C-alpha cells in the first residue's frame, strides 16, 4: 500500500457492517476500509483517539470515520462523542449515516421540496406532511428536516398515536423542532388525516402497501406523494419506482409522485458526494443530516 493512504474506519453498533457502505467507500477510492462491529457509545472516544494519534500530519488529513448502525439518535450521539475526542491538529472528518437513513431522508426531502416548487411555486413552510412509518430512522430524519423547513410534520405509526407521539417528543427535544404523532394503525385512522395532508411520505417497512389508489382518491389536498419502498408491492399504489414528478391523475389535485428508485438515485449521489467531501477537505467535516440535506438540495437543483 502507498505511503499515507486514504483510510476509512467504520464504527457500527450492530453485529454486521453494511456491505452498501463498504462498497460506497471503495467506490469513492478509499485505499483501506476498516469495519468495526458491535461498537458501544462508550467505545467511541478511545477508538477515535487510536485512529487519529497513529497517523502523520499528512495522514491525519487522509483519515475518516464513518458511523453506521440502525438508530438515528444513537448515530448522532456517536458523531458527537467522536468530535469531542479530537483536538488540533488531531482532527479528522466524520460521516454518519445509519441504515443509509440520513442520505435517503436528505434525498427524499430535497426531491419533495423541488417537486412542490415546480407544481405550486411554494416551499415546504406551512405544508402538512404525514410520514407513514415515521418512527423508523428514515421517517424520523425526514421529519426533522421538513420541520426545520417550517412544515407541520406528523410521524404516523402503525403502532398507534401513543408510540408516534413518544418518538416525536423525544426528537423534538433533541433537535429543537416541533413534530406530532399520528395514527395509521387502521385504514379508518389513516383516512382521518389523509384528506388534510399536502405531502404524504411512505417510509414504512418494505413490502407493505400503505396507500391504495382508492384511498388517494380522497386525498383532496395532496400535492406530492413520495414512496421510499422499492420492494413489491409498491408502498403507494400508482407511484412507480422510477417516477420523478409523475402526475397521479386519480388524485383531486393531480399530485406528483416520487418513486423509490428515483429518490434512491439521488441518495446514491449524496452518499458518494459525502465521501468525496471527506477526502478532499483541508479542515475536518462533521457530516450529519443537515449537511446531507444541503448536498441533496444542490444535486437536485442541477437535475
Domain definitions of the chain by residue range: 7-100+268-301, 104-263
Is omega for the bond preceding 155 within 30 degrees of 0, making it cis? Answer: no
Q: What is the pLDDT of residue 302?
A: 87
Same fold, 7-100+268-301 and 104-263: yes
pLDDT of residue 1: 57
Integer Cα distance of 28 and 279 in angstroms: 9
On the question of pLDDT at 79 being above 60, the answer is yes
**Is 60 exceeded by the pLDDT of residue 245?**
yes
Among the listed residues 103, 149, 147, the one whose alpha carbon sits nearest the alpha carbon of residue 122: 149
**Pairwise CA distance, residues 95 & 271, whole Å:** 10
**pLDDT score, position 90:** 87
pTM (2 d.p.): 0.95
Mean pLDDT for 278-300 is 95
pLDDT at 115: 98
**Dist. CA 63–CA 32, nearest whole Å:** 10
The residue behind cell 428514515 is 138
CATH of region 104-263: 3.40.50.720
**Over the stretch 117-138, which tens digit does the pLDDT of each residue have?**
999 999 999 999 999 999 999 9
Check pLDDT > 70 for residue 152: yes
pLDDT of 2 higher than 80: no
Tell me the pLDDT band of 3, cut-offs 50, 70 and 90.
confident
Distance CA 232, CA 225 (A): 17
In this prediction, residue 203 has a pLDDT band, given cuts at 50, 70 and 90, of very high
CATH code linked to domain 7-100+268-301: 3.40.50.10280
Q: Give the pLDDT of residue 303.
A: 82
Q: Averaged over 8-21, what is the pLDDT? A: 94
Distances (CA, A) of 236 to 6, 179, 226: 42, 23, 8
Amino acid at each position: 500500500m502507498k505511503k499515507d493512504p486514504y483510510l476509512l474506519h467504520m464504527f457500527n453498533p450492530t453485529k454486521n457492517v453494511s456491505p452498501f457502505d463498504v462498497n460506497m467507500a471503495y467506490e469513492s477510492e478509499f485505499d483501506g476500509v476498516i469495519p468495526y462491529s458491535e461498537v458501544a457509545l462508550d467505545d467511541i472516544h478511545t477508538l477515535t483517539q487510536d485512529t487519529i494519534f497513529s497517523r502523520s500530519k499528512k495522514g491525519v488529513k487522509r483519515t475518516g470515520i464513518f458511523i453506521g448502525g440502525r438508530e438515528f439518535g444513537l448515530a448522532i450521539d456517536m458523531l458527537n462523542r467522536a468530535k469531542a475526542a479530537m483536538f488540533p491538529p488531531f482532527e479528522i472528518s466524520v460521516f454518519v449515516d445509519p441504515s443509509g437513513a440520513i442520505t435517503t431522508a436528505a434525498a427524499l426531502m430535497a426531491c419533495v421540496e423541488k417537486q412542490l416548487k415546480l407544481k405550486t411555486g411554494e416551499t415546504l413552510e406551512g405544508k402538512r406532511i404525514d410520514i407513514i412509518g415515521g418512527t423508523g430512522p428514515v421517517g424520523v430524519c425526514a421529519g426533522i428536516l421538513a420541520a426545520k423547513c417550517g412544515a407541520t410534520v406528523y410521524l404516523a405509526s402503525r403502532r398507534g398515536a401513543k408510540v408516534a407521539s413518544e418518538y416525536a417528543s423525544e426528537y423534538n427535544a433533541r433537535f429543537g423542532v416541533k413534530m406530532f404523532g399520528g395514527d395509521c394503525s387502521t385504514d379508518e385512522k389513516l383516512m382521518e388525516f389523509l384528506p388534510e395532508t399536502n405531502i404524504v411520505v411512505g417510509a414504512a417497512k418494505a413490502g407493505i402497501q400503505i396507500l391504495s389508489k382508492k384511498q388517494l382518491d380522497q386525498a383532496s389536498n395532496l400535492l406530492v406523494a413520495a414512496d421510499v419502498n422499492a420492494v413489491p408491492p409498491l408502498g403507494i399504489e400508482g407511484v412507480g419506482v422510477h417516477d420523478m414528478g409523475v402526475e397521479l391523475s386519480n388524485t383531486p389535485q393531480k399530485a406528483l409522485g416520487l418513486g423509490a428508485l428515483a429518490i434512491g438515485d439521488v441518495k446514491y449521489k449524496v452518499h458518494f458526494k459525502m465521501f468525496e467531501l471527506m477526502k478532499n477537505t483541508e479542515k475536518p467535516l462533521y457530516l450529519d443530516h443537515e449537511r446531507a440535506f444541503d448536498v441533496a438540495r444542490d444535486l437536485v437543483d442541477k437535475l
